[in-house]
Amino acid sequence: MSQRIYLSSPHLGALERGYVNEAFASNWIAPLGPHVDAFQAEFARCVGAPHALALSSGTAALHLALQLVGVGPGDEVLVSTLTFSASVNPIRYLGARPVFLDSERTSWNMDPNLLSEELEARGWAGRLPRAVIVVHLYGQSANLDPILDVCDRYGVPVVEDAAEALGSTYKGRIPGTLGRVGIYSFNGNKIITTSGGGMLVSHDEVLVQHALKLSTQARDPAPHYQHSEIGYNYRLSNVLAAIGRGQLRVLEDRVAARRRNFAFYEQALAGVPGISFMPEAPWGRHTRWLTTLTIDAAEFGADREAVRLALERENIEARPVWKPMHLQPVFSCFERRGGHVAEELFENGLCLPSGSNLTQEELARVVEVVRAVPRRALRSVH
Ligand SMILES: *Cc1c(COP(=O)(O)O)cnc(C)c1O
């Protein structure tokens, strides 16, 4: 069997090991230290946010973000339905209720018109949500301007889940830095990784200082251990921040490599009936963190699942597009708004291997298997 091709595997650069050795040599093996400070400063500069806080995961960052914009028990939070469960779980940690919004087709992200209608209806009814979480999926920004405008009009804070979108742009600006708080993830499969980790950014220094306090067990400034609120243990290790510093230096290379993967797939599968790639919206740069496409089974001659299984038989990892949150057993009791765009994308959508370390041969292997699926489906019918 040939070597397994993964969906998105870690890709280390030349500098990470040196920084990690430095952490060992200086004995800063703790959830604080000079690499954490430097990683925060370098990350803040990279995305153009005044304040950044390194945390143990993107999920932890979102949990703190929601708490700090005031989400609490019984509140409602509007959130994209087409996303990973980590966008929604922290709403439940806080005892609040998600309301799921459908996607638009230009970017696959939250439909601003739907959000606008929902906020208008809730404004009249006096039932505004405590926050809106907008997710930037698969390396592409949502259409932020209308989303920020309408939320501003109703005084609802926007939390940006940019876990998948580091390196993307929106009208020359950086998704994750445009709402009240933004979060990023450095999980092993993301565009850059610390093995596990996250970042919270905001223009609000007081909010970020409070997030720092909560992330370190909410210690009051006293020499004895004193606490006047409930805290968490959410800080990033100095060792992992060392990895992050090296990774951040090669972010632009990683974006370029993932966009090259996409261009290869797009060209190699051009003209194959029934295959459509996730569009790049006119408002910015899609990093193509994952190359994602939809398959029209009737035109292509086989459905999404047949393609995924054919790839799996060749030891190639591909994944369906995220299963919408309103279809998840754990969230099915919550309300949703909109049509069936997210459901359709899930039904027909597939993510191809997209790592920045894939070789030309590996990409060619993926394409060969995909192209052969309809012929094989035909043979099995006759
Ligand atoms: C990965 C991811 C997260 C969570 O990040 P972790 O660092 O894995 O906790 C949140 N939201 C989305 C959309 C993600 O893809």
Q: Are 43 and 52 in contact (CB under 8 A)?
A: yes
Determine the structural domain holding residue 226 and report its residue range: 14-249
In angstroms, the Cα distances linking 59 to 162, 205, 379 are 11, 21, 46
Q: What percent of the chain has pLDDT over 70?
A: 98
Is residue 4 in some structural domain?
Answer: no
Q: pLDDT tens digits, residue range 134-155?
A: 999 999 999 999 999 999 999 9
Examine the domain organization and report whether 277 and 207 are in the same domain: no
Is residue 7 in some structural domain?
Answer: no
Which of 64, 87, 194, 354, when mutated, tests ligand 1's pocket best, judged by the most ligand atoms within 8 Å of its CB? 87
Calculate mean pLDDT across residues 92-97. 98
**Number of neighbouring beta carbons within 10 Å of residue 328:** 15
pLDDT bucket at 2, cuts 50 / 70 / 90? confident
Distance 163 CA to ligand 1 centre (A): 5
- The dihedrals phi and psi of 144, each to the nearest 5 degrees, come to -70, -40
Would you say residue 382 has pLDDT above 60? no
In angstroms, the Cα distances linking 149 to 60, 143, 180, 371 are 27, 11, 13, 44
Distance 271 CA to ligand 1 centre (A): 34
Q: pLDDT tens digits, residue range 104-134?
A: 999 999 999 999 999 999 999 999 999 999 9
- Ligand 1 atom 6: residue of nearest CA: 58
Q: What percent of the chain has pLDDT over 90?
A: 96
Atom number in ligand 1 closest to CA 189: 1
Distance 60 CA to ligand 1 centre (A): 9
Is residue 202 in some structural domain?
Answer: yes
Would you say residue 86 has pLDDT above 80? yes
Would you say residue 377 has pLDDT above 90? no
Distance 185 CA to ligand 1 centre (A): 6
Distance 58 CA to ligand 1 centre (A): 5
Examine the domain organization and report whether 245 and 256 are in the same domain: no
Q: pLDDT tens digits, residue range 9-31?
A: 999 999 999 999 999 999 999 99
**Could you give the strand order of the β-sheet that contains 349-352, starting from the edge strand earlier in sequence?**
275-277, 291-295, 349-352, 319-320
**What is the structure's pLDDT at 119?**
98
Calculate mean pLDDT across residues 336-356. 98
**Number of neighbouring beta carbons within 10 Å of residue 154:** 14
Q: pLDDT tens digits, residue range 30-83?
A: 999 999 999 999 999 999 999 999 999 999 999 999 999 999 999 999 999 999
Q: Which residues pair with 351 in a beta bridge?
A: 292, 319
**Number of neighbouring beta carbons within 10 Å of residue 374:** 19
Examine the domain organization and report whether 193 and 168 are in the same domain: yes
Q: Hey, which bits of 208-326 come out as E strands?
A: 275-277, 291-295, 319-320
Would you say residue 87 has pLDDT above 70? yes
**What is the structure's pLDDT at 378?**
66
Is residue 62 in some structural domain?
Answer: yes
Atom number in ligand 1 closest to CA 186: 7
Distance 232 CA to ligand 1 centre (A): 18
Distance 296 CA to ligand 1 centre (A): 29
Examine the domain organization and report whether 169 and 153 are in the same domain: yes
Indicate the residue among 249, 284, 299 that finishes a domain.
249
Residue 182's nearest CA partner among 41, 367, 47, 36 is 47
Atom number in ligand 1 closest to CA 164: 15
Where residue 172 sits, what CATH number does that domain have? 3.40.640.10
Q: Which residues pair with 98 in a beta bridge?
A: 77
Examine the domain organization and report whether 224 and 114 are in the same domain: yes
Report the number of distinct structural domains present in the chain.
2
Is residue 161 in some structural domain?
Answer: yes
Helix (H, G, I), strand (E, B) or coil at 16: helix
Examine the domain organization and report whether 79 and 217 are in the same domain: yes
**Ligand 1, CB within 6 Å, residue ranges:** 57-59, 83-84, 86-87, 135, 161, 163-164, 185, 187, 198
- Ligand 1 atom 10: residue of nearest CA: 86
Calculate mean pLDDT across residues 187-209. 98
Atom number in ligand 1 closest to CA 86: 10
pTM of the model: 0.97
Examine the domain organization and report whether 283 and 360 are in the same domain: yes
Helix (H, G, I), strand (E, B) or coil at 239: helix
**What is the structure's pLDDT at 381?**
60
Which of 56, 79, 84, when mutated, tests ligand 1's pocket best, judged by the most ligand atoms within 8 Å of its CB? 84
**What is the structure's pLDDT at 375?**
79
Distance 85 CA to ligand 1 centre (A): 8
- Ligand 1 atom 2: residue of nearest CA: 163
Would you say residue 266 has pLDDT above 90? yes
Distance 293 CA to ligand 1 centre (A): 21
Examine the domain organization and report whether 319 and 282 are in the same domain: yes
In the chain, what are the helix, strand and coil shares in percent, each to the nearest 5? Answer: 40, 15, 40
